[in-house]
Structure 1
């Protein structure tokens, strides 16, 4: 029987005890999935589940229901539950335990969401697009420069649930940084939400700085001596990758602005000051992305102009050489008509004279083309 079926079976019992029974059944039937490196050793979507009391980590077991019960009895802490690409069945018990809205749960499971901030009663639901820079030895027309993922965050009065999609953007180091600052962590779930937002936006800034090196290289290649021969596909690919970064950063401006300015019950006013700093960093990143987009447009236009100029130069050279070849072709064509009465046909010096005239005309044309820059 599935986890959802188990939940329906125990609907007549106490909610907490029923969820505990379902959790035990799920643990018995769950196999270790070592093929998924981002998942926990138990093979489930739960990467970590930790309780915090006054900013300090509380030792506890792996049972989520027990952990939530202990926190709610003391009423001065919160639970941080980390998930990675959970399925619908894995989220059923969690959604019921924390009373999460079905629409938010659907977005968290399905992923591929636009950065946003939504409020469902006492719960905040935030979506962040994570980015990372893909290292490469040389930029090509098929190089992947920016890789994206998603982090969904549920924030309540006594819990934070993070749902991560993608193989980057691990929150482990962020958790360790927060645990090293108990004063900040004691401010509750809002402090975790700020740390995640700050972490995501800092990645935007770092990635834009890395992308700038690729843009500088492309710009140098285009304006080099043989810039017309540069691969335009590299510029277009870089624009496509920059678009991925733009889709992640630009829509986040409004949610961060709301967190920084609008009164929200789940966000302590003291934390809102930190969100203003995040908003400033995000503004810097979005402005830099917009500037890069304009710069790439200019580089692409300059490259196309160079190609056009190079083609015009080639056409002028071809035309000049065709004009030079046309002179002997015309003279030889006239004397090749085999008429009996032709000028200088029977003269001893007629042949050398014709050759001299051809050479003289070609030399005059060549010098004229050289002076005009066609050759």
Structure 2
């Protein structure tokens, strides 16, 4: 837990024990930055600041969507910034803020163990560095919150920029025909889409709660102006993410069209091959019919000649005067009859 006192002279580090006395002052701005809401931080939020138990619980637990609650003497809201994980997974880095009369309390919400703890402190450390360097002199809690939210939106925009570079590379691979493994390529497309949807949701929901905050009557005109500007920054993040998401959707549709055309061409080629094989099979069947027909035609004379070629002793036709001519005529008639039958059936 870091307790900082911001005055015209600069920034001073103070101890948590000094907080009750510091909160009674009106000539300074108090910034309490809590890296993790441990039991000591919970006691401080509950007893020193007297925050609502639900707001304190929201600091301890992970909030999956941004939210805002207005109380008589302060405003509590939750925002997220993206952090990229393995295989395109998007980690939601939570930042909670209590904006009061003369103080700002920033609480870094619980993070996934896979995320570097330093990632949760990017925005507050960037603002602290600007204050220490003398480039920033916030005089009100909303001015300090504005600086932190601006740093958060810059990180969101940088995340979109990284995804945009990947989307362009994916498009070049599609148009250049260098997709590689189709399944892995589709996974890459939808990982990029998931990242854009995530940061788009962060921007849209953050803008919505800041628009609600700007309508609160207890906020000063200057604070309302800053809150409205924060809403505009978050709305711009949403718009940029939407634009890149539509661009990526065009890449996805182009790739889907390519796959459809390729599938149709493959199907057409397969159909042509099936047709060719069918025609070859049909021609082969026709040839088999002709061979079978001629085999049957020549089989009839062969059968007769074979029977009479047995030369059994008790065959009556062996001594018949007209046996030989009759056998020849019978062979010719059988062959002609079979020829006519097969001709009529279209086998010859």
TM-score by length of 1: 0.67
1:242 corresponds, among 169, 179, 196, to 196
2:225 corresponds, among 273, 293, 296, to 273
Unpaired stretches in structure 2, ≥5 consecutive residues: 112-116, 299-348
> Which of structure 1's runs of 4+ aligned residues deviate more than 6 A?
none
Number of residues paired by the alignment?
285
Answer with 1 or 2: which has the greater Rg.
2
1:144 partnered with 2:88 = yes
Q: 1:295 to 1:100 in 2, by over 3 A?
A: same
Q: Give, in whole Å, the separation in 1 of the partners of 2:59 and 2:221.
A: 27
1:326 corresponds, among 278, 281, 287, to 278
Q: Give, in whole Å, the separation in 2 of the partners of 1:334 and 1:169.
A: 80
Q: Give, in whole Å, the separation in 2 of the partners of 1:182 and 1:325.
A: 80
Unpaired stretches in structure 1, ≥5 consecutive residues: 1-45, 135-141, 346-375
Q: Deviation at 1:86?
A: 1.4
Does structure 1 retain, via aligned residues, the 8 Å contact 2:104–2:141? yes
Q: Give, in whole Å, the separation in 2 of the partners of 1:297 and 1:283.
A: 21
Q: Give, in whole Å, the separation in 2 of the partners of 1:94 and 1:226.
A: 56
Partner of 1:68: 19
Q: Secondary structure at the match of 1:256?
A: helix
Which is further off, 321-330 or 123-132? Answer: 321-330
1:199 corresponds, among 148, 151, 172, to 151
2:60 corresponds, among 109, 113, 118, to 109
2:269 corresponds, among 306, 310, 317, to 317
Q: Give, in whole Å, the separation in 2 of the partners of 1:247 and 1:212.
A: 17
Q: Secondary structure at the match of 2:91?
A: strand
Q: Give, in whole Å, the separation in 1 of the partners of 2:189 and 2:136.
A: 47
Aligned Cα RMSD in Å?
Answer: 2.9
Q: 1:117 to 1:49 in 2, by over 3 A?
A: same
Does structure 2 retain, via aligned residues, the 8 Å contact 1:71–1:78? no
Considering fraction of residues, name the structure with more helix: 2
1:160 corresponds, among 100, 104, 124, to 104
TM-score by length of 2: 0.72
Q: Give, in whole Å, the separation in 2 of the partners of 1:73 and 1:270.
A: 22
Q: Deviation at 1:59?
A: 4.8
